Amino acid sequence: MVRTVGFRLVLTLIGFIIATLELAEAIDPNAPGDLAVSVFVAESPDFIREWMTTPSSHGPTIRRIRKARFNQQVHAGFIVTGYKQQEDLRVDFAIDVKVTDPIGKIIFGKKSWAQHSKKISSERSFILADPVLDLMIESSDPEGKYQIEATVHDRVVRKSASGSWELDVGH
């Protein structure tokens, strides 16, 4: 019995170490042409400052949330990777954003919400689109799951990709 408990403890510790190592690995950016946009929601806009001040060798921490309360301001961000560069190293993309309520009604929609047209030295990196979307669901709105969708349009190669995030809003 003691040997079995000890063996289980060792297996549990090994599993924990392996899981921790997997979580600690950095996420690699997509190859050029493998366009993608990741959508997330955070409670605080602090991720913007961290994104701007953290060296690329470390990577910022973004504390994402899946639930929010009515009248709580949250911040939706859009991270693009897999873009193509022009010959002068310029990256050129636009992001359309749409937010739908639990019954499917569009409560916010904007073509080219965020645009990026700048030179980037690396052909493989992540770009946090500017601006982020500040969002507040009021108590008069329906309770439930809100969908935040983004479509990035790489204007260099005329390619698009979409991503979404679900946010459960209630009391």
pLDDT of residue 156: 95
Mean pLDDT of 137-144: 95
Q: Is the pLDDT of residue 2 over 90?
A: no
Range scoring the smallest mean pLDDT among 55-64, 92-101, 139-148:
55-64
Instruction: Look up the CATH number of domain 29-170.
Output: 2.60.40.3880
Mean pLDDT of 58-85: 90
Residues in the chain: 171
**CB-count burial class (<10 Å; 0-12, 13-18, 19+) for 62:** middle
Percent of the chain with pLDDT over 90: 63
Residue 70 has what DSSP assignment?
Answer: T
Range scoring the smallest mean pLDDT among 31-40, 125-134, 144-153:
125-134
Which residue type is seen at 57?
A: S
- Provide the mean pLDDT of the chain: 83
DSSP count for the chain of H helices, then E strands: 2, 9
- Locate the DSSP E strands across 66-105: 67-69, 73-81, 90-100
Domain boundaries, the chain: 29-170
pLDDT of residue 139: 94
- Which residues have C-beta within 8 Å of that of residue 149, sequence separation ≥ 6? 39, 97, 98, 99, 100, 162, 163, 164
